[in-house]
Amino acid sequence: MSCDVLVIVEHNEGRLKNVSSEILSFFGKIATDNGVKVVAFIFGDHISEKLYCDIGKLGIREIVSHVNNELDEQPGLVAGMIADLAKKVKPKLIVMANTVKSRDSAPMIAQKLDIEMFSDILNIDYKKTVINLARLVYGGKAIEKIKLLNQQALITVRPNVLGNDENEAFIPTITKLKTNELPRTQTYLTKAKITKEKVQKPINEADVIIAIGRGLRRVEDLIMVNDLARVVNGVIGSTRPVVDMGFVRRSHQIGQSGRSVSPRLAILLGISGQIQFVAGISKAKTIIAVNKDSKATIFKSADYGIVGDIYSIVPILTRELKKLKLQNR
Amino acid sequence: MKILVLVKEIIDTNSKIVFNKQKKLDESQVKWVVNLYDEYALEEAIRIKEQFGGEVVIYSVGNDRTKDTLNYIMSMGADRAVLIKSELTDAKSVSEILAKQIREKDADFDLILAGWIGIDWNRGQVPGRVSSVLEVPFVNVVIDIDINGKIVTCEKEGESSNEIIDVQLPALITVQRGINEPRYPSVLSIMDNTEKKIEIVDNIDQSTTKKAIIKIEPEKNRKKTYMINESDPELAVKMLMKKMIADKVM
């Protein structure tokens, strides 16, 4: 079996991750339109028939799967497994999602295969003979444009950038990998998992983000922000100072020394617009900023700006959005 | 303990990123600094040395200018540095250069620490690649390190939960912000004119891998902001909703 594109699929609790659906539908469309051979690889435990079905619905005809409940905790083994598969099917392009999981294994996979890797890709222009990619560098101030000419490469794709294509559904053929029992290794042992209190979606996969800055004065104000977040189904993130003060987890810090995110909608509350923060949010599709200072630099980076007191604006905005939501039911 | 630290000199992304008429980055306007996350790695290495004794060695791929940055950062408490001069900046080449020099000069390392990502290029590849070449276990994005003999217990930033990972030394671990507060380089040490022990190595490019064609361009700015400067908050929100519905954002 050989292919042009190998997509590494991520799933969680019996469902495809949104970012994996985006990648699969993107390449599913290319497979149908251009006769490109795309294979999806899914691994881990709890892989149901429904998952295979969901992949097929996105336009994918071939799936390779490996069921194993020990892989989850072992990036080194995952890297070895994917590299071995890639050596068998020889894809020109290996596509992963840019997630917490892939950032561990992807560089090792690329090195094992002796190929280049490009992470956090924002744009893919795919042809069999030439692939054009784009990603952000220099704190979001510049774009790196990459042209691949017939060389094998691995890319990780940012969530929320590819969109979702409607494709012809297939009943995919499934090849189940049988590997020898994975080496019981003492070199990397996951002893425990510390579950964070509220299991929040990883911020870089959120569709809507509410980001708060120092304009928020007390931790109690988070209740107001939470109400807004709930109405829009948003994830709360913040600037670095707010994380340093302990109001928000570091994993939800947005910016140069935090995460880079591309939500469909970002609502920025009480954020002045320091370049270190903007670097992480600049790729949001739509940005709304609320700040009581009309001269705040954040407005330069926003599509919509309200000059006003967040304590007045946010409750009203929450109420109006709730109304709109009910109207649209 | 012998602790190696991978350090990268980067463009200070706070400085003005200016493109000249040929759409090339104007490097004269740029300040060079140590990658933020590598500072955390170096601080962690020095703390481990203070706890267990041993040696902290910096490894860096750069050029002549990098020597100044290394001189400065070594004053935090590193013992020596190996600076490999190379024009190559792609992650794969840099990783292979580092691994090769480490194998030749300090193959008996106990631990390699690195920042988990460089904030200039936002790649996060080199540490994982180096661990692969050196064939040591790799723990990525760690906020706490605790060493007990040959076992290192790490708290690693996970998806919905942090994970406690044990690995056996030798290993390569990358650090995340929050693991420590880096000390300032000792003023006395910076002012000390005696040459810091920096070994400079010239790298000869022997790679045959075909590389991608790369171009850097300025990022376009967002189109004009729709500003609402209305003192009545009810009215302000109404105006926002109306515009966003008209623009089909809501």
Distance CA A37, CA A30 (A): 9
Question: Looking at the structure, do residues B161 and B241 belong to the same domain, yes or no?
Answer: no
Question: Looking at the structure, do residues B139 and B41 belong to the same domain, yes or no?
Answer: yes
Q: Report percent pLDDT > 70 for chain B.
A: 97
Q: What is the pLDDT of residue A150?
A: 87
Is 80 exceeded by the pLDDT of residue A72? no
Q: What is the pLDDT of residue B58?
A: 98
Q: Which residues of A touch B95 (CB under 8 A)?
A: 111
Residue type, A33: D
Q: How much is the average pLDDT of B211-233? A: 89
Q: What is the pLDDT of residue A189?
A: 85
Asked if residue A268 lies in contact with residue A284, where contact means CB atoms within 8 angstroms, the answer is: no
Top pLDDT among B57 and A163 is at: B57
Task: Mark yes or no for CB contact B219/A194 under 8 Å.
Answer: no
Question: In three state form, how does the secondary structure of A242-286 look?
Answer: HHHCCCCCHHHEECCCCECCCCCEEEEECCCCCHHHHHHHCCCCE
Q: What is the pLDDT of residue B14?
A: 78
Question: Looking at the structure, do residues B76 and B33 belong to the same domain, yes or no?
Answer: yes
Question: Looking at the structure, do residues B197 and B224 belong to the same domain, yes or no?
Answer: no
Q: What is the pLDDT of residue B35?
A: 96
* Residue in B with minimal Cα distance to A309: B233
* Residue in B with minimal Cα distance to A253: B177
Q: Which residues of B touch A317 (CB under 8 A)?
A: 237, 240
Question: Looking at the structure, do residues B166 and B234 belong to the same domain, yes or no?
Answer: no
Q: What is the pLDDT of residue B168?
A: 95
CB-nearest to A299 from B17, B209, B227 is B227
Q: How much is the average pLDDT of A297-312? A: 95
Give the sheet arrangement for strand A38-44, strand by strand: A116-121, A153-157, A93-97, A5-9, A38-44, A62-67, A173-176
Is 80 exceeded by the pLDDT of residue B49? yes
Q: What is the pLDDT of residue B81?
A: 97
Q: How much is the average pLDDT of B14-28? A: 80
Phi, psi angle pair for A232, to nearest 5°? -95, 5
Task: Mark yes or no for CB contact A320/B223 under 8 Å.
Answer: no
Question: Looking at the structure, do residues B37 and B93 belong to the same domain, yes or no?
Answer: yes
B209, part of any domain: no
User: In sequence order, what are the beta bridge partners of A235?
Assistant: A209
Distance CA B128, CA B35 (A): 17
Phi, psi angle pair for A181, to nearest 5°? -50, 130
Q: How much is the average pLDDT of B79-91? A: 94
Q: How confident is the model at residue A199 (pLDDT cuts 50, 70, 90)?
A: low
Is 90 exceeded by the pLDDT of residue A202? no
Top pLDDT among B218 and B52 is at: B52
Q: From the candidates A82, A103, A185, which should be mutated to test the interface with B, based on the most B CB atoms within 10 A?
A: A103
Q: Report percent pLDDT > 70 for chain A.
A: 96
Q: Report percent pLDDT > 90 for chain B.
A: 72
CATH number at residue B25: 3.40.50.620
Is 70 exceeded by the pLDDT of residue A320? yes
Q: Report percent pLDDT > 90 for chain A.
A: 73
Q: What is the pLDDT of residue A180?
A: 60
Q: How far is CA A24 from CA A42, A52, B66, in A?
A: 12, 12, 43
Is 90 exceeded by the pLDDT of residue A69? no
Question: Looking at the structure, do residues B126 and B194 belong to the same domain, yes or no?
Answer: yes
Q: Which residue, chain included where needed, has tokens 């481990």?
A: B48
pLDDT in tens, A240-250: 999 988 899 88
Q: From the candidates A84, A93, A138, which should be mutated to test the interface with B, based on the most B CB atoms within 10 A?
A: A138
Q: Count of domains in chain B?
A: 2
Q: How much is the average pLDDT of A264-283? A: 94
B211, part of any domain: no
The mean predicted confidence, pLDDT, of chain A is: 91
Is 70 exceeded by the pLDDT of residue A259? yes
Domains and CATH numbers, chain A: 5-176 (3.40.50.620), 203-327 (3.40.50.1220)
Please give the residue range of the domain that contains residue B119: 2-202
Is 70 exceeded by the pLDDT of residue A224? yes
Alpha-carbon distance A205 to nearest alpha carbon in chain B (angstroms) = 11
Q: How wide is the angle at C-alpha B186 spanned by C-alphas B178 and B202, nearest 5°?
A: 85
Is 60 exceeded by the pLDDT of residue A186? no
For residue B170, the surrounding DSSP H or E stretch is: none
Q: How much is the average pLDDT of A13-18? A: 92
Q: How much is the average pLDDT of A169-179? A: 89
Reported ipTM: 0.92
Q: How confident is the model at residue A185 (pLDDT cuts 50, 70, 90)?
A: low
Distance CA B155, CA A47 (A): 28
Q: What is the pLDDT of residue B207?
A: 66
Question: Looking at the structure, do residues B106 and B226 belong to the same domain, yes or no?
Answer: no
Q: Which residues of B touch A132 (CB under 8 A)?
A: none
CB-nearest to B125 from A119, A287, A321 is A119
Q: What is the pLDDT of residue B194?
A: 60
Is 60 exceeded by the pLDDT of residue B65? yes
Q: What is the DSSP letter of B221?
A: P
Q: What is the pLDDT of residue B208?
A: 62
- Count CA atoms within 13 Å of residue A217 on its CB side: 3
Q: Is B179 exposed, middle or buried (0-12, 13-18, 19+ CB in 10 A)?
A: buried
Q: What is the pLDDT of residue B195?
A: 67
pLDDT in tens, A21-53: 999 999 999 998 888 999 999 999 889 999 999
Alpha-carbon distance A31 to nearest alpha carbon in chain B (angstroms) = 23
Question: Looking at the structure, do residues B194 and B139 belong to the same domain, yes or no?
Answer: yes
B191, part of any domain: yes
How many beta-carbon pairs below 8 A join chains A and B?
Answer: 249
Q: What is the pLDDT of residue A65?
A: 95
Q: What is the pLDDT of residue B205?
A: 72
B213, part of any domain: no
Q: From the candidates B13, B175, B239, which should be mutated to test the interface with A, based on the most A CB atoms within 10 A?
A: B13
Residue ranges of alpha helices (H) inside A90-209 are 102-112
Question: In three state form, how does the secondary structure of B50-81 look?
Answer: HHHCCEEEEEEEECCCHHHHHHHHHCCCCCEE
Alpha-carbon distance B194 to nearest alpha carbon in chain A (angstroms) = 34
Distance CA B122, CA B116 (A): 10
pLDDT in tens, B177-212: 989 999 988 777 777 756 679 999 998 776 666 788
B52, part of any domain: yes
Is 80 exceeded by the pLDDT of residue A200? no
Is 70 exceeded by the pLDDT of residue A83? yes
Question: Looking at the structure, do residues B234 and B111 belong to the same domain, yes or no?
Answer: no
CB-nearest to B219 from A100, A105, A143 is A143
Question: Looking at the structure, do residues B243 and B150 belong to the same domain, yes or no?
Answer: no
Q: How much is the average pLDDT of B77-82? A: 95
User: In sequence order, what are the beta bridge partners of A116?
Assistant: A153
Task: Mark yes or no for CB contact A257/B37 under 8 Å.
Answer: yes
CB-nearest to A324 from B164, B221, B250 is B250
Task: Mark yes or no for CB contact A288/B240 under 8 Å.
Answer: yes
Question: Looking at the structure, do residues B119 and B239 belong to the same domain, yes or no?
Answer: no
Alpha-carbon distance B119 to nearest alpha carbon in chain A (angstroms) = 7
For residue A200, the surrounding DSSP H or E stretch is: none
Q: How much is the average pLDDT of B100-110? A: 97
Q: How far is CA B108 from CA A284, B123, B170, in A?
A: 46, 28, 9
Neighbours of B229 (CB within 10 A): 11
Alpha-carbon distance B168 to nearest alpha carbon in chain A (angstroms) = 5
Q: What is the pLDDT of residue A239?
A: 96
